[in-house]
Amino acid sequence: MGLSWQQGPISPRSIGRFLTPEPLPQRLLFAEPLRRRMQVRFGGQWIADSEDVLLLHEPGRYPVAYFPLGDIAPGVLESTEHVTEHKDLGKTAWYAVRAGADLAQRGAWRHTDLPGHAGELGERVAFAWRAMEAFYEEDERIFGHAADNYHRIDIRATSRRLVVYSADRIVADTRSPVALYESGFAPRWYVPRADVDESALTPAKGQTFCPYKGVCDYYDIGDSGRAAWSYPNAYPESARVSGMVSFEPDRISVLLDGERLKLAPGQTVIPHGVDRGLDVEEIHGRPRS
């Protein structure tokens, strides 16, 4: 997603290239000011609050937020003997994070032997996303990972014909699909419910979460597991696809203007959801306490 994930410019699977006479290093790290107030909550307490967060984009990883040591509550970080080696940034010291009765072993880290060209990260700490209770931008909770400034979603209406088949059965037939263009992804095509044979869709177990679109439901179609999905209550920036259905072209036949679609390289997604320690109640917006 965005700069470093999926097929972004500094992702290992980028579909573009930098037009330079000499090849660039295989791994490029990019750090920049987030320019948003971010807070961290743990153990029922606000343990970090900063308007000086630095965002690190590392190839193949979601953006990571680094907080100045001075913006972290006193007594929260407890040194441990655990030290790892980052392939680009050198020795990394790990902290236990304590607040109230709660303790997160290896809940935060700091790079302690940075190379000269990475000095911006000096005296800064990153918190393990899953280990913390919650992260906020201003008074709104954010989910999944720190916001990627380079992630964008555009949704466009079209009159192109999209037909979906399961064997000889027509599952969807529309001349009013919408194309969703998302940073790092090839287009995804969404079909209005009125143009879908609902009897062909069997709800599948499990949901995933997109930090930019919301909670996603899945459907089996015949013997094809999770061949379709829908965001029943997409976030405002993606509201135009709320309730619409999209189909996975490597699991079911999807034809756009008569040409069968194929899953684009690099489209495999690492989902958010249970694996990120989130539940549906949290994602839909638990009141700030």
Tens digits of per-residue pLDDT, 80-131?
Answer: 999 999 999 999 999 999 999 999 999 999 999 999 999 999 999 999 998 9
Q: Which of 5, 7, 3, 1 is nearest to 265 (CA)?
A: 7
Does residue 228 belong to any structural domain of this protein? yes
Question: Which one of 89, 116, 150 terminates a domain?
Answer: 150
| Whole-number Å distance between alpha carbons of 115 and 123 | 13
Domain that holds residue 46: 30-150
Of the listed ranges 158-162, 206-210, 216-220, the least confidently predicted one is 206-210
Query: For the chain, what is the domain count?
Result: 2
For residue 49, what is the enclosing H or E element? strand 45-50
**In terms of domains, do 228 and 157 share one?**
yes
Q: Are residues 210 and 104 in the same domain?
A: no
Q: Report the CATH number that the domain containing residue 190 is assigned in CATH.
A: 2.170.150.40
Are 146 and 47 members of one domain? yes
Is the distance from CB of 210 to CB of 272 less than 8 angstroms? yes
Cα torsion 8, 110, 270, 266: sign: positive
In this structure, the number of other CB atoms found within 10 A of the CB of residue 174 comes to 22
Q: Is 250 part of any domain? A: yes
pLDDT above 90 coverage of the chain, percent:
71
Q: Is residue 156 within 8 Å of residue 13, measured between CB atoms?
A: no
Residues 6+ apart with CB under 8 A from 255: 162, 163, 164, 165, 261
User: Is 10 among the domain residues?
Assistant: no
If asked whether residues 160 and 144 sit together in one domain, one would say no
**CA diameter of the chain:** 65
Lowest-pLDDT range of 69-73, 161-165, 211-215, 255-259:
211-215
Same domain, 129 and 94: yes
Please indicate, yes or no, whether residues 96 and 176 belong to a single structural domain of this protein: no
Average pLDDT, the chain: 90
Residue % of the chain over a pLDDT of 70:
91
Residue 54 lies in a domain: yes
Indicate whether 278 pLDDT > 60.
no
Residue 233 has pLDDT above 90, yes or no: yes
Q: Is the pLDDT reported for residue 61 higher than 90?
A: no
- Shared domain check, 158 and 124: no
Do 108 and 204 belong together in one domain? Answer: no
pLDDT surpasses 50 at 12: yes
Residues 182 and 251 in one domain: yes
- 282's enclosing H/E stretch is helix 280-283
Domain-embedded: residue 270 = no
Provide the residue count of the chain. Answer: 289
Region for residue 285 given its phi and psi (left: phi exceeds 0; alpha: psi -120 to 50; beta: otherwise): left
Let me know: does 169 contact 194? Beta carbons within 8 Å.
no
Q: Is the pLDDT of residue 286 over 50?
A: no
Q: Which of 150, 180, 215 is the last residue of a domain?
A: 150
Q: Exposed (0-12), middle (13-18) or buried (19+): which is 134, by Cβ within 10 Å? A: middle
Is it the case that residue 280 has pLDDT exceeding 80?
no
Kindly state whether residues 141 and 159 are assigned to the same domain: no
Q: Which residue type is seen at 17? A: R
Evaluate whether residue 186 is within a structural domain: yes
Query: Picking from 34-43, 45-54, 78-87, 137-146, which range would have the lowest pLDDT averaged per residue?
Result: 137-146
Q: How confident is the model at residue 195 (pLDDT cuts 50, 70, 90)?
A: very high
Average pLDDT on 11-28 reads 88
Residue 257 above 80 pLDDT? yes
**Lookup: tokens for 9:** 């410019």
Question: Is residue 75 domain-shared with residue 179, that is, in the same domain?
Answer: no
State mean pLDDT over 58-75.
94
Q: Which residue is listed with tokens 């399961």?
A: 166
pTM for the whole thing?
0.81
Q: Do residues 127 and 175 both lie within one domain?
A: no
d(CA 67, CA 53): 5
Q: Is residue 124 part of a domain?
A: yes
Give the tens place of pLDDT for each residue, 127-184.
999 899 999 999 988 888 888 888 889 999 999 999 999 999 999 999 999 999 988 7
**At residue 185, does pLDDT exceed 60?**
yes
For residue 239, the SS3 value is: helix
Write out the DSSP string of 89-114: TEEEEEEEEEETTEEEEEEEEEESS-
Q: What is the pLDDT of residue 263?
A: 83
| In-domain check, residue 164 | yes
At 172 the three-state DSSP class reads: strand
From 150, 175, 209, the end of a domain falls on 150
pLDDT at 288 over 60: no
> Using CA atoms, how far apart are residues 147 and 115, in angstroms rounded to an integer?
26
